[in-house]
Structure 1
Amino acid sequence: MDNLGTLGTTEEQIELMDVATNFCRDKSPIEKVRKLIDDDLGYDPDIWKEIGELGWLAIAIPEAQEGVGLSMAEVVPIAEQMGRNLMNTPFAATTLAAQALLAGGNEQQQAAWLPKIAAGAAATLALQEDNGDWDRNNIAATGTVSGDIVTLAGKKQFVIWAQSAELIIASIKVEGAVQFALIERSAIDDAALRRESVIDETVRSYELDLDGLTISTAALFDAARTRETIDRIDLAGGLIHAAEMTGGTQAVIDYTIEYLKTRKQFDKIIGSFQALKHPTVDNYVEYEKSRTHLYSAAHCFNDQGRGEVAVHMAASQAHGSYSHAADRGIQFHGAFGFTHDCDAQLYRRHAIFKGALIGDAAYHRSKLAGLLFD
């Protein structure tokens, strides 16, 4: 972390980095990651319990709601180490759901759910639909109000960790305007959740069928705060996923270098060949760019305008760097690289799915261009 000091790295970030580095390395060895691919739950519930006990879910929740009272900047080093070790749990989804509540929930909604999340309850977001659009306003799911009851309709996709979540926050249209709805998992029939087959086998993603589901009008966010909620979700999501991708980039580069240092061709270590050595150095330079952008974005996350620019820069750089480093990792492993047994495959799949959730590098560059040049 020393090379990040000029970006205003906090003592809390440094302390959390130390703890998260050891925790994620010890609790998520690659053998366990692969074992969990075949597990229905997809993560170790004992580790999830430890994450709650460590207070990591409470970091960016205010003290008034029984949180730690820090910010998304202090979530970054944890997410980075989770990405580095492919530790997939509901951590990111739950953190983003808490941010949505903070941005758009009223006092009663926040009081009901934020302390639960801080104590370890999982939550998630249901935002995307089959149109594949990352614009949160382009949705078809609806809510029809009758008295104090809202009847929902439509389908949501990429609802990650929905089976484990106690709360799902879904975007719907009420009288043509986008609003957010709090849906308790206990109110959702198991048949309404269909597990999706996604390229990242370390995550659990679901399609949520909202047809016929009813909630109280008290479960709706204030429509006047929809824009604020969308902006918070997009920014917090861009930051936390950039952190995970940056950590993954470091890991796949390390994995590839280890192979380049041991594999021989023509009686020479293949890492000595310029055709492999130079691209690896390029990948490392891009990784350093990613990490610099990441902690710069964390540092100015709450600065209006500047924070938005920084997050899009970080997300764009992280997705591009991660994708390219994982591609080269697969290529440099030769025929083995194209098999499922090559760990570089796991990182490449992780990068693809992250792009599907928050937008790929090109999308974030287009958003950045609009901010800088419009």
Structure 2
Amino acid sequence: MDFSLSEEQEMLQKSARDFLSAECPKSLVREIEAGDLGYSPELWKRMAALGWMGLALPEEYGGAGFSLLDMAVLFEEFGRAAMPGPMFSTTVGALAVLEFGTEEQKRTLLPKVATGELIMTMAMAEPEVNEDPRFIATRAESHAGGYAITGTKLFVPYAHIADYMLVVARTEGAPGDDSGLTVFIVDAKAAGINLTPLVTIAADKQFEVVFDKVSVSDSDILGSLHKGLPTVKAVLRKATAIQCAVMIGGAQQELELTAEHTKTRIQFDRPIGTFQAVQHRLADMFVDVQGARWTTYQAVWRLSEGLPADREVTIAKAFGNIACQRVAASAQQLHGGIGVDKDYDLHFYFRRAKAFELSLGSTPFHLKTLEAELDS
């Protein structure tokens, strides 16, 4: 497999890096983290003007018609810049609608996503379930020609600014059943939705969302009634692969910050980067970043080509979790005290690395999944 980027992808990478360096400095990231919105509307508009929101959407829906692999290149740059905002949740939601939505749903939602007018998010995790969607207990009961959703969702990103949520609810059966799940496209401002902000290590905006008999219609169903588990798994596969790309971008920046620091930090009358033990640690960081990158891009490439990718996504996330934690720890150790100084930039990546490790499947979850794959 050829892992080199195409000329078009290299241009996308360079333009994104240049844009984010100029338009998303760490001063803006600090301002966003301290604010209530969790993103910059001005930056969002400028990114929409570049066509990034619709990068992987077909041209007929206002997109650019690029591939998921191209999208991963862009999201790696978002990770490198530690850019906060609903770009990830909106992209995941849009890709779900593109793959499983009706033509009416696509034409209603996707053009507005492409222009930056519409923000999406996904509500899946619950107090009793974070990784296995089969155990979702939120109910959608048949009511007045549609359904009424009741239940509690956790860790819903950017729910306070979202226009629509993809809500996974149980329309029949009991928690643990393979059948009975349905995905609904829910108006995020509908009556009966209550939000409670959560405090997160990454300082992103996540919410507990309580649904109290929220009304939806048959036309709001994404995919098939009662048969939503394959839909959820497909959405999570792409979301996990894209998040791995974000993780790589952050780890790459940690490596570069650390390498630069070891060139200028003087100890015993010489840069600490001249010490062999420091060089060994930097080499280990480089190997981890490269290993995480190529396992991720293999998974993304297979998804982009429509090939089976369950095993590759699982490997990418499991190894990415481990590798990015090692990189984060090594970066802190080689920086010393300045690494935990919030006036320095390293903490952005350290905090995000831990948050990413715990979302979309922890390391034990993916290792257990891989074990089952290998045994089957």
Shared fold per TM-score greater than 0.5: yes
Equivalent position of 1:215 in the other structure = 216
Equivalent position of 1:17 in the other structure = 13
RMSD: 2.1
Preserved CA contact (<8 Å) 1:99 1:232: no
Equivalent of residue 275 in structure 1, options 265, 277, 291:
277
Structure 1 residue 258: Cα displacement: 1.9
Preserved CA contact (<8 Å) 1:123 1:165: yes
CA distance in 1, matches of 2:206, 2:343: 22
Aligned length: 368
Deviations 1:4-53 (A, max 9, x none): x9236444423321221111222222222222211111221111011111
Structure 1 residue 305: Cα displacement: 5.7
Equivalent of residue 178 in structure 1, options 176, 181, 199:
181
Equivalent of residue 104 in structure 2, options 101, 104, 108:
108
Preserved CA contact (<8 Å) 1:142 1:174: yes
Equivalent of residue 141 in structure 1, options 138, 143, 147:
138
In 2 relative to 1, CA 39–299 (structure 1 residues): closer, same or farther, beyond 3 Å?
same
Deviations 1:140-185 (A, max 9, x none): 1111112313111111111111112111111111122111111112
CA distance in 1, matches of 2:343, 2:333: 14
Residue identity matched to 2:53: L
Equivalent position of 1:331 in the other structure = 333
Equivalent position of 1:260 in the other structure = 262
Residue identity matched to 1:231: K
CA distance in 1, matches of 2:343, 2:375: 45
Residue identity matched to 1:365: L
Deviations 1:192-234 (A, max 9, x none): 1111101101x11111111232222321222265233112212
Preserved CA contact (<8 Å) 2:200 2:206: yes
Residue identity matched to 2:24: S
Preserved CA contact (<8 Å) 1:158 1:357: no
Residue pairs, 1:3-14, within 5 angstroms? 6-7=2-3, 9-14=5-10
Secondary structure in structure 1 of the residue aligned to 2:46: helix
The gaps in structure 1 that reach 5 residues or longer are: none
Identity %: 29
Preserved CA contact (<8 Å) 2:195 2:209: yes
Preserved CA contact (<8 Å) 1:154 1:209: yes
The gaps in structure 2 that reach 5 residues or longer are: 174-179
Equivalent position of 1:239 in the other structure = 241
CA distance in 2, matches of 1:236, 1:12: 22
CA distance in 2, matches of 1:111, 1:183: 16
Structure 1 residue 342: Cα displacement: 4.2
CA distance in 1, matches of 2:41, 2:286: 34
CA distance in 1, matches of 2:372, 2:3: 25
Deviations 1:262-317 (A, max 9, x none): 12222232222233221111011111112222222222214566423222222222
Equivalent position of 1:29 in the other structure = 25
Preserved CA contact (<8 Å) 2:254 2:349: yes
CA distance in 1, matches of 2:162, 2:355: 20
Structure 1 residue 360: Cα displacement: 2.5
The question of 1:347 aligning with 2:349 is answered yes
Preserved CA contact (<8 Å) 2:147 2:217: yes
Residue identity matched to 1:70: F
Preserved CA contact (<8 Å) 1:168 1:185: yes
Residue identity matched to 1:261: K
CA distance in 1, matches of 2:95, 2:135: 21
Secondary structure in structure 1 of the residue aligned to 2:160: coil
Range with greater deviation from structure 2 (346-355 or 302-311):
302-311
CA distance in 2, matches of 1:146, 1:114: 28
Residue identity matched to 1:309: R
Secondary structure in structure 2 of the residue aligned to 1:313: helix
Residue identity matched to 2:299: A
Equivalent of residue 198 in structure 1, options 189, 197, 200:
200
In 2 relative to 1, CA 233–300 (structure 1 residues): closer, same or farther, beyond 3 Å?
same
Preserved CA contact (<8 Å) 2:9 2:73: yes
Residue pairs, 1:115-126, within 5 angstroms? 115-120=111-116, 121-126=118-123
